[in-house]
Structure 1
Amino acid sequence: MSLSASLTSAFSGLAALSRMTEVVSSNVANAQTAGYVRREVVLSSHGADGSGATVRVSDLRRDVDRALLADRRGAEAGAGASGRIAGFRIAMETGIGDVTSAGSLTDRIARLEAALITASGQPDSDSFLDNAVAAARKLASQISSSAESVQAERISADARIAQGVDRLNTGLRQVADLNERIRTLTTADRDATGLMDERQQLVDRLAEFVPLREVERDDGQIALFTAGGAALLDGRPAEIGFRPTAQITADMSLASGALSGLALNGVAINMSNGAGLMSGGTLAADFAIRDTLAPEAQARLDGLARDLVERFASATVDPTLGAGDAGLFTDAGARFDPLNETGLAQRLAVNAAVDPVQGGAVWRLRDGINASAQGATGNGTILSAMSAALTEPRPTGSTAYLSGQRSFATLGATLASMTVNDRLDAEEDAVSSAARLSTLTELELQGGIDTDREMQDLLAIEQAYGANARVVQTVDQLIQMLLELGA
């Protein structure tokens, strides 16, 4: 090898080692920087043809465990979804109240039972009659407010879907822009790793809404697909469509067309399996809340309200009632139609004839809803029949509950138990998902920047740098000797 070739090789080594020192220093400096991915210099030989070989930096690689990254993103989406559903279940339990708390659904039922028993024992007491009507009014209000909270959760879920879709569309356009900028730098043989870090953080945020599968493309670009196989970005970003609904009532559904599903580039996505191709993240969880879980909770409350209405809407309980008359509890003031059960919980109200708040008279609770004049004040027959109707085991007309005969208190306890069990199951799922995410995040951090390793690498680089510097020094001395000999 000639002296000039030796110098060229040594100088190329010094340049490569200088770049490696720069990269190691950057790794150490950013060891605690969120989103920073460890860099690694890739070296290659050049011109190894017998006349001397040089070394050059062929690539600056980001040290990413793509399998672990994909698992962590999936876990993040799952944790977000399970947490969202757990929040909904907690709200539902809060709506009906803790069974041990005053003012809960079960407490309101117990108070009505006690008030009717007391009033039937002293039917001449206007105070006891007024207490019974007030207890009925509070029970109806409790059921109605619980159902209103169900629809409030549906409205919130719909609004979150709209926000999520907007952030997805914006994020996909930003990733596409970063792809183009990275391609430009890569083709110009310039460092694009900083932009790649920025892109990875952006994709991490988008993966909370929908689990994303990242596929590498040429020139440092990436494509993004959902776990279900929908292409969200492959060259150009997809456009996700959704139409938000400001107000949602119990009868509104996706199937009826009253609520919006998702569209991908103008083509409707089959939503039969939650969110279809977009399932797995918080977006799918909000669709599940809006279209499945909340309607299920509404149906349970409607079934409870139906059972309450039907217990008192009988001439055997109140002989003054005709075939088309409403009993103590009404469907917005009218008799309940079994074909119109959806939304009954919100419409549930005490019959105005017995309610002083609505202009009625409490004595009709004793003498009959349709009584035109007061009867004997000591006659507690109707009050006793009402008390018995509330506590009598009977089949539940609603399909929201399993068949079987129950008292109204038992039916209320069944609803409370189902709600608590749903909450416990959802919280268990949320804890499990959060633990999985924590484990994968920890594994990802462990595979990050090890400063001890980086310092060891720096020492090795320093030694190699010194060796190349000595080659240059030695060649310089040889050249000086040759020049002296020539003189």
Structure 2
Amino acid sequence: MTLGSALSSALSGLAANTRAVDVLSGNLANALTEGFAPREITLAATRDSRGVQVTGVVRQVDQGLLSDRRLADSARAASEVQAGFARAVENAVGTPDAPNSLTGRLAAFEVALETAANRPEDTNRLAAVLSAAQGLTTGINDAAADIARLRTAADRDIATAVQALNAGLKDVAALNAQITKGQSRGHDITALEDQRQRAIDALSLIVPLRQLPRGDTSVALVTTGGGMLLDGRAVSLTFEPAPLVTPHMTYEGGHLSGIAIDGTEVTIAADRGPLQGGRLGALFDIRDRAAVEANAKLDALARDLVERFQEPGLDATRAPNAPGFLTDAGTAFAAENEPGIANRIAVTRLVDPAQGGALFRIRDGLGAPLAGPPGSGALLGALSRALTQSSSLPSGLLGGGTRSVADHAATLISSLSLERVATEERQSFATGQAAEFRAQELATGVDSDAELQRLLLVEQAFGANARMIQTIDDMLDTLLRI
């Protein structure tokens, strides 16, 4: 080996060691950086085998673990949305221990009727009946309004998620192009690959994705439901949110928007279709199932209340087909109008002095033109018994069987509590699973001890190459002195 070739080999070694130090120090500096993958330098002999050259810097990523972690993150995001909705619905109706809960308001109404029946001549007790009835109907109205707001918010959040998905897919497509171009020019593309991984991580929270490698260092993205979202170019998703979602509005009825991929409508559901799962699937499940079912349960209870006071023979003074003590927005209730009755249930204005009515009609009958005997409490007793009589709900969402109003309300609250507990259990499992995959991923990340050991080896190699250069320099000096 000539001195020139030896010097060339030593210089190539110094250059490779310098690059290795850059990579190792970068690994240590980014040990806690989210989405950073450890780098490893790859070396090869030069063409004449008399030196070493850097052939590239490779990211060390376990693609299988990364895919599993993304799916777990997607399931966690979905469970968080569903659990949050279940808690909000339960709070809207109220738990039995809360004074303003549905059962609390119903109990106050029952007590007010019983108390007034014992002293029907007491105007204050009649006023208490009116106040308790209005409190009950207002509570049902407010709970229904809260559910409607949650459903409207879910529809609005779907639009936000679709916008984020479109923007994220465009970002990944742009990064694909930059990575491919950088690779062809021999540039270090690892930072761009980190950025692409973080972008795909964010998209996987919206809808569960799988990453497919392509031969030019780009990637394709396909959902677990089989929808191709990115392969060369990003698809375009469209969705039209509704300004307000009311109980009668459904996707099946054409009142609410679905999602179209490149102009083609796709199936939407939490458990089927190309966009199933993830936060997007959970939002569709809330809008099209969970909120609809919660509203239907509340409607069934409201309908039962109205029909109990609308029974023929309960109030002899009430005209045929006239509304009872509780009304459908002031009119008699018809079975075909059940959807949304929880939003419309109200106390008849005939007993409300603020609306031109009179309190004595609570005692003497809705059709009474004048006050009757003040000591007659027969109608008050009948109204009280109407609440405690067993009847079955026309809707099957709260189960079969005949119950009093209080038992129907308890069944409603129990069903909502069970749904909340079930969603929280799913959230706990999904959160634990996602945390475990995250921990495994971190374990395969930057190992500070191993990186420091490599630095020591690089230092030794650097010293050896420097010593060779020094030796060559000494030999050249000796030759020049001869």
- What is the TM-score normalised by the length of structure 1? 0.95
For 1:419, the equivalent position in structure 2 comes to 416
The aligned amino acid for 2:37 is V
For 1:312, the equivalent position in structure 2 comes to 309
Residue from 211, 216, 221 that aligns with 1:219: 216
* Secondary structure of the structure 2 residue equivalent to 1:40: strand
For 1:267, the equivalent position in structure 2 comes to 264
Task: For residue 414 of structure 1, report the CA deviation from its aligned partner.
Answer: 0.7
* Pairing 1:177–2:177 present: no
Contact 1:208–1:282 at 8 Å: present in 2 too?
A: yes
Task: For residue 275 of structure 1, report the CA deviation from its aligned partner.
Answer: 6.5
CA distance in 2, matches of 1:272, 1:154: 15
Relative to structure 2, which stretch is displaced further, 270-279 or 383-392? 270-279
For 1:12, the equivalent position in structure 2 comes to 12
| Unmatched segments (≥5 aa) in structure 2 | none
| Unmatched segments (≥5 aa) in structure 1 | none
For 2:42, the equivalent position in structure 1 comes to 42
* Pairing 1:384–2:384 present: no
Taking only aligned residues, the RMSD between alpha carbons, in angstroms, comes to 1.8
Change (3 A) 1:52 1:415: closer
* Secondary structure of the structure 2 residue equivalent to 1:220: coil
Aligned pairs (5 A) from 1:284-363: 284-363=281-360
Task: For residue 467 of structure 1, report the CA deviation from its aligned partner.
Answer: 2.5
Contact 1:274–1:287 at 8 Å: present in 2 too?
A: no
* Secondary structure of the structure 1 residue equivalent to 2:396: coil
For 2:406, the equivalent position in structure 1 comes to 409
Residue from 235, 238, 251 that aligns with 2:248: 251
CA distance in 2, matches of 1:286, 1:196: 30
For 1:57, the equivalent position in structure 2 comes to 54
* Secondary structure of the structure 2 residue equivalent to 1:229: coil
CA distance in 1, matches of 2:87, 2:244: 22
Task: For residue 346 of structure 1, report the CA deviation from its aligned partner.
Answer: 0.2
For 1:197, the equivalent position in structure 2 comes to 194
Q: Deviations over 1:427-474 (max 9, x none)?
A: 121122112222222222222111111110011111122223334444
The aligned amino acid for 1:69 is L
* Secondary structure of the structure 2 residue equivalent to 1:219: coil
The aligned amino acid for 2:273 is G
Relative to structure 2, which stretch is displaced further, 373-382 or 149-158? 373-382
Relative to structure 2, which stretch is displaced further, 395-404 or 470-479? 470-479
For 1:116, the equivalent position in structure 2 comes to 113
The aligned amino acid for 2:30 is N
The aligned amino acid for 1:351 is T
Change (3 A) 1:45 1:52: closer
CA distance in 1, matches of 2:202, 2:275: 15
For 2:30, the equivalent position in structure 1 comes to 30
Q: Deviations over 1:314-372 (max 9, x none)?
A: 12321223431211111111111111111010010111111223221111111111222
Task: For residue 11 of structure 1, report the CA deviation from its aligned partner.
Answer: 2.8
CA distance in 2, matches of 1:53, 1:314: 103
CA distance in 2, matches of 1:90, 1:66: 36
The aligned amino acid for 1:17 is N
CA distance in 2, matches of 1:142, 1:357: 20
Task: For residue 97 of structure 1, report the CA deviation from its aligned partner.
Answer: 1.4
CA distance in 1, matches of 2:378, 2:251: 48
* Secondary structure of the structure 2 residue equivalent to 1:233: strand
CA distance in 2, matches of 1:44, 1:255: 63
* Pairing 1:99–2:96 present: yes
The aligned amino acid for 2:126 is L
Q: Deviations over 1:166-220 (max 9, x none)?
A: 1111111111111111111110001111111112112211211111211222332
Contact 2:268–2:281 at 8 Å: present in 1 too?
A: no
Contact 2:269–2:285 at 8 Å: present in 1 too?
A: no
Relative to structure 2, which stretch is displaced further, 319-328 or 401-410? 319-328
For 1:133, the equivalent position in structure 2 comes to 130
Residue from 137, 141, 144 that aligns with 1:144: 141
Contact 1:96–1:146 at 8 Å: present in 2 too?
A: yes
* Secondary structure of the structure 2 residue equivalent to 1:278: coil
The aligned amino acid for 1:353 is L
Task: For residue 132 of structure 1, report the CA deviation from its aligned partner.
Answer: 0.8
